[in-house]
Amino acid sequence: MLMNRLALGADMARSTPSDELGAMRREADSPGDRRAVKGLRETGAQTARERVLGMLDDGSFVEFDAFVKHRSGDHGMHMHTPLGDGVVAGHGMIDGRRVACFSQDYSVFSGTMGEMHARKIAKVADFAEKSQLPIVGIWDGDGQRAHEGVTSLGATGELLEILVACSGKIPLISVVLGTVSGTSALAAGLSDFVILGRDRGRMFMRSPYVIPEIIEGEMDEETLGGSGQHASRSGVACLVSESESGAFDLVAEILSFLPDHTLAEPPIISTGDKPTRKCKGMEKLVPQDSDRPYDMRKVIEQVVDDKRFMEIFPTYAENVVIGFGRLDGHSIGIIGNQPSVLAGCLDIDASVKAARFIRTCDCFNIPIVTFVDVPGFLPGTVQEWGGIIRHGAKLLYAYAEATVPKMTVVTRKAYGGAYLAMSCKHLGSDYNVSWPTGELAVMGAEGAVKIIHRAELAEADDSASRHGELVEEYREKFGDPYVAARHGWLDDVIEPSQTRSALSRAIKPLLTKRELVPPKKHGNIPL
């Protein structure tokens, strides 16, 4: 026994600082509970470190604060002080572009946010703001760490403040690959883009363990806060990924359209697709009958480079389509009414969806192209009582406030207040054109005649016949784009096949557009 002790003492004496560092590195690389790691493996999930390394270019990751530990001694916390405190943080490259990043480690205290955990993420955000780099956060944590009490809340508040300060300056992207609740959900919700994993991505404002419907077995966690709900109902998730690697591919694709920061220009990626290419068959995509639906996405695909349109929020407020594309290599944000859903009418959710996207594009110097086919705002008590006036005003406000190049194409209907809200010339749009099928009017001919001539129609012997005559008369006066063109509210009337070439020509001089905004604290958008 004495000899063993002597031998052990000799080994310790022979250890060097490098040996100690190596041991700490190995501990920091695998700090989590083995059972928790095993549980992740069984669900097909990766560890936090594996996720970071899988997202970044090989060999590019530079880690921050690998040796950080929590400082709590309450509730037995002093018995377990894993290195890193449940989050892997630092910076690296995605397709050659430097980004700041972090990944919550579910195997350490269920990824909950304690004081040092929050400070590590805040350090990354502060670094990103000063270095003007995008932030990509991988979230997989059950909210606030209750064991640390108010101490954790203070650090989390500081983190939220830094994230707000970063908003609009640098791109913020959140990838949710586990159950995220409470303050973690709030922090992720501050991002410009939230991507959820199909199987494990869940978000809750309150812990699901305190939700009455879940406690009583009326619904499960997936039904309440799963990816399907947040992608189609709440509008929290802009995209859903089938796999973790797929989520990281989406991150890379989104970043390819964005600059590193608000003072930079978006990347130019030439595809070889000629800007003068004709959009063949465009006339067949859009029925001349204004009451017949069609898919606006097919119109958009004909216009953008390589017919590649990255739609975001594809299953939320589907009556408006938004996403990214390229025009002669330049990033553009695209907004279009969707006639195949609610006839393309604007409602509460569609207005907010589009307004948010407009402001995102404006933050990051991305020109906006709008395709208009809108009969108006959706009528009904649900919309009126739900505040469509206020929410519709958000859309109008966002377009008027945006200083990036704004281009608009009217394909068919552009009626009333919805016409004004969809990037009209009067709100500062830079280039507005219409197809020959365009109708710019207060409302459709049928409705207009009923209002204008209601007394005459009431007295007519054959009101139906007279109504038809008046409708035709109204259409002759207002049912084409040339009235608006004569007033200068349209810059041109073009053939549908010329849409791509017309927009490509228009965007070139607009890339140097600069608007000097009078100094003020900020506008007061009707939130």
Judge if 303 and 432 occupy the same domain. yes
Judge if 316 and 369 occupy the same domain. yes
Judge if 321 and 416 occupy the same domain. yes
Give the pLDDT band of residue 1 (cuts 50, 70, 90).
Answer: very low
CATH of the domain at 494: 3.90.226.10
Answer yes or no: pTM beyond 0.75.
Answer: yes
Look at residue 460 and give its three-state secondary structure.
coil
Residue 235 is part of which domain span? 44-71+79-257
Judge if 324 and 375 occupy the same domain. yes
- Which of 206, 224, 257 is a domain's end point? 257
Q: What is the pLDDT of residue 333?
A: 98
Helix pair 48-55, 244-257: axis angle to 10 deg = 40
| Tens digit of each residue's pLDDT (9 = 90 or more) over 403-443 | 999 999 999 999 989 999 999 999 999 999 999 999 888 77
Residue 25 within any structural domain of the chain: no
Which residues, in sequence order, are CB contacts of 517 under 8 Å at separation 6+?
Answer: 403
Work out the angle at residue 255's Cα, subtended by the Cα atoms of residues 309 and 527, and round it to the nearest 5 degrees: 80
Radius of gyration of the chain (CA): 28
Q: 439 vs 303, 344, 433, CA distance in Å? A: 21, 14, 12
Q: What is the pLDDT of residue 452?
A: 81
* CA 227 from centre of chain: 15
Judge if 287 and 354 occupy the same domain. yes
Mean pLDDT of 337-350: 97
Pairwise CA distance, residues 323 & 42, whole Å? 35
Residue 433 within any structural domain of the chain: yes
Q: What is the pLDDT of residue 8?
A: 43
Residue 29 within any structural domain of the chain: no
Greater model confidence, 214 or 292: 292
- pLDDT reading at 2 higher than 50: no
Phi-psi region of 309 (alpha: psi -120 to 50; beta: other; left: phi over 0): beta
Give the pLDDT band of residue 343 (cuts 50, 70, 90).
Answer: very high
Give the pLDDT band of residue 372 (cuts 50, 70, 90).
Answer: very high
- Which of 217, 240, 257 is a domain's end point? 257
Residue 241 within any structural domain of the chain: yes
| Tens digit of each residue's pLDDT (9 = 90 or more) over 382-397 | 999 999 999 999 999 9
What is the maximal distance between C-alpha atoms in the chain?
Answer: 120
Judge if 293 and 398 occupy the same domain. yes
Pairwise CA distance, residues 228 & 239, whole Å? 10
Q: What is the pLDDT of residue 213?
A: 79
Judge if 87 and 138 occupy the same domain. yes
| Tens digit of each residue's pLDDT (9 = 90 or more) over 42-77 | 787 898 999 999 999 999 999 998 888 877 767 666
Q: State the total domains in the chain.
A: 2
Residue 423 within any structural domain of the chain: yes
Rounded to 5, what percent of the chain is helix, strand, coil?
Answer: 45, 20, 35
Judge if 145 and 53 occupy the same domain. yes
Q: What is the mean pLDDT of the chain?
A: 89
Residue 23 within any structural domain of the chain: no
Pairwise CA distance, residues 146 & 446, whole Å? 62
Judge if 361 and 424 occupy the same domain. yes
- Of 437, 367, 436, the residue nearest 402 (C-alpha): 367
Give the pLDDT band of residue 28 (cuts 50, 70, 90).
Answer: low
* CA 219 from centre of chain: 28
Q: Answer for the pair 144, 86: CB distance below 8 angstroms, yes or no.
A: no
Residue 13 within any structural domain of the chain: no
Beta strands in 109-227 (DSSP E): 135-139, 172-176, 179-181, 193-197, 202-204
Judge if 206 and 294 occupy the same domain. no
Work out the angle at residue 10's Cα, subtended by the Cα atoms of residues 9 and 16, and round it to the nearest 5 degrees: 100
Judge if 145 and 195 occupy the same domain. yes
For residues 170, 391, 201 and 107, what is the CA-based torsion angle, rounded to 10 degrees? 60
Judge if 309 and 434 occupy the same domain. yes
Mean pLDDT of 522-527: 89
* CA 196 from centre of chain: 12
Residue 473 within any structural domain of the chain: no
Q: 13 vs 1, 20, 35, 189, CA distance in Å? A: 19, 12, 34, 52
Pairwise CA distance, residues 426 & 420, whole Å? 8
